[in-house]
Amino acid sequence: MPAVKFYELDTSRRLQMLVDEGLIDERDRATLAPSRALPEDIGSHLIENHIGAFPVPLGLAEHFLIDGRALRVPMATEEPSVIAAAGNAAQRVARSGGFHTRASRRGIVAQIVFRQGDGVGGDASGNRSGGRSGKRGLASFLAAHRREIGDVADRAHPTLRSHGGGLCGIEVRRTGEFVEFDLLIATGEAMGANTVNTIAEAVAAYLSARLAGFDLLMAILSNKADDQRVHVEARIAAADLATSTMPGDEVASRIAAAARFAEQSDLRAATHNKGVMNGIVAAALAAGNDVRNVVAAAYADLDAEQRTWTSWRVADGGLCGSIDMPMPIGVVGGAVSTLPVARLAMTMLGHPGADELMGIIASVGLASNLSAMRALVTQGIQAGHMHLQLRSLAMTTGAQGRELEVLTRRLQADPSRASLERARVSLDAIRAEHASKGEASAGRVHTADGREMIE
């Protein structure tokens, strides 16, 4: 009998195979069981070799006021404090009028790349023998075929025009041995990666048949999304930045200095940008978008001259910040339309258009950046994060419900000594107390100096 191939099985048979092989047990099988959040038929049609779901916590960042609209923004993240931090900054921004966004979506560029064959007298004017392959030859070839290329593109995706999309620009360039045709394709409200690649391959086949002496190397969209940009601005009154020990204008000045330092230091910019991405990735993921695309486009926008997407300065009696970045997202098609939780997130956002979603995601990025910097330049990052970090550590032990709260508070009593090992020992003690004395004793917490607190 031929060996059963893993990829040919359905999900439940794959799981059975893993149980039979001893790779997972019955409990693991139950952990991977489909849910309403991700039914089996959706998961198994989205990816290959599907065995279950990998749920990431979903939360709502509160207090966002974006272009005059109050919103709770869904964020999917496993990192403690990211959602609270975004909501905290959003609240400060809201007091001064909220975030103001501007988005432009011209389309996605697809590259069709040819390599000039060895010793072949390629003719870019369309003749199959002899002729020029220089810059002018390519330009006139493109001019002569522009209309037909448009028809090929429309035929490759017949409904795109009716959704406000389609091929809207072509450029040709030569770089060394390569000749590249760049198609700018508008994708309506969709992110449109598949659409763009379908059109690119159809146009590539058309060009390939007409460009003798040029070898088609590839046709693929570019993740450098210069034609889908978003800009968001926010202002925070100095008074709304104050801490219990530092006046607001000093906090504003220190945040602006921190932002300037990120513009000068590669080491710092990487971390500064990670703080921005905490918000961007969580909001984009919750909205069912391809976060790899969002991240690739964002980082492709940076260089030694421009190390970050955000900027902050002291002005107008407070702090003014902005974020400017590419944001290739969509609101229809792909996972946005398929994943039940992404659909729910879009419903909670009031079904934004693509421009609006770009503004929402970028606002969350700006808020995350503000919150991180305010903490860094005042009390330091650990003080604010500590409770959530310790709760995360407590969860790692398997503590649940009330014992999770109690364990977190015990760890908080001496945070400098908190470790997974100590948390496990402490959890064992809590459980022993539960078992021997009943529920009430589990509420006793010892502080660092040995005192006992009743909670």
Q: Report the interface residues with ligand MEV, using CB under 6 A.
A: 79, 271-272, 274-275, 278, 372-373, 376, 381
Active-site residue, 79 included: yes
Question: Please, which residue, 11 or 308, has the CB nearer to ligand MEV?
Answer: 308
* Shortest distance in whole angstroms from residue 371 CB to ligand MEV: 8
What are 13-21's contacts with CB under 8 Å, separation 24+?
A: 14/49, 14/50, 14/51, 15/51, 15/52, 18/51
Question: Please, which residue, 297 or 373, has the CB nearer to ligand MEV?
Answer: 373
Q: Which amino acid is at 273?
A: N
**Sheet containing strand 228-237, strands side by side:** 100-105, 228-237, 318-326, 310-315
The CA-based angle 34-39-36, given to 5 degrees, is 85
Dihedral of alpha carbons 209, 212, 217, 220, sign: negative
CB 49 within 8 A of CB 41: no
Which of 28, 40, 67, 79 is the catalytic position? 79
């934004």: which residue's tokens? 352
Q: At what angle do helices 354-376 and 248-264 cross, to 10 degrees?
A: 110
Which of 123, 189, 227, 290 is the catalytic position? 290
**Sheet containing strand 166-175, strands side by side:** 166-175, 178-186, 108-116, 214-221
DSSP strands (E only) in 20-107? 58-66, 69-76, 100-105
* Shortest distance in whole angstroms from residue 308 CB to ligand MEV: 10
SS3 assignment, position 152: helix
* Shortest distance in whole angstroms from residue 268 CB to ligand MEV: 8
Q: What are phi and psi of 373, to 5 degrees?
A: -70, -40
Which of 274, 316, 351, 428 is the catalytic position? 274
* Shortest distance in whole angstroms from residue 78 CB to ligand MEV: 11
Which of 123, 227, 385, 433 is the catalytic position? 385
Question: Please, which residue, 333 or 365, has the CB nearer to ligand MEV?
Answer: 365
Active-site residue, 437 included: no
Distance CA 124, CA 211 (A): 6
Buried b (16+ CB within 10 A) or exposed e, 383-412: ebbbbbbbbebbeebebeeebbbbbbbbbb
* Shortest distance in whole angstroms from residue 381 CB to ligand MEV: 5
SS3 assignment, position 419: coil
Cβ-in-10-Å burial (0-12, 13-18, 19+) of 126 comes to middle
* Shortest distance in whole angstroms from residue 231 CB to ligand MEV: 21
Question: Please, which residue, 71 or 373, has the CB nearer to ligand MEV?
Answer: 373
Q: What are phi and psi of 374, to 5 degrees?
A: -60, -40
H or E stretch covering 336? helix 334-338
* Shortest distance in whole angstroms from residue 85 CB to ligand MEV: 8
Question: Please, which residue, 1 or 267, has the CB nearer to ligand MEV?
Answer: 267
* Shortest distance in whole angstroms from residue 249 CB to ligand MEV: 21
Active-site residue, 171 included: no
CB 394 within 8 A of CB 111: no
Dihedral of alpha carbons 159, 165, 169, 170, sign: negative
Cα dist. 413→139, 390, 394, 424 in Å?
A: 72, 11, 13, 15
Active-site residue, 290 included: yes
Question: Please, which residue, 86 or 427, has the CB nearer to ligand MEV?
Answer: 86
Question: Please, which residue, 291 or 335, has the CB nearer to ligand MEV?
Answer: 291
Question: Please, which residue, 116 or 278, has the CB nearer to ligand MEV?
Answer: 278
Catalytic residues: 79, 274, 290, 385
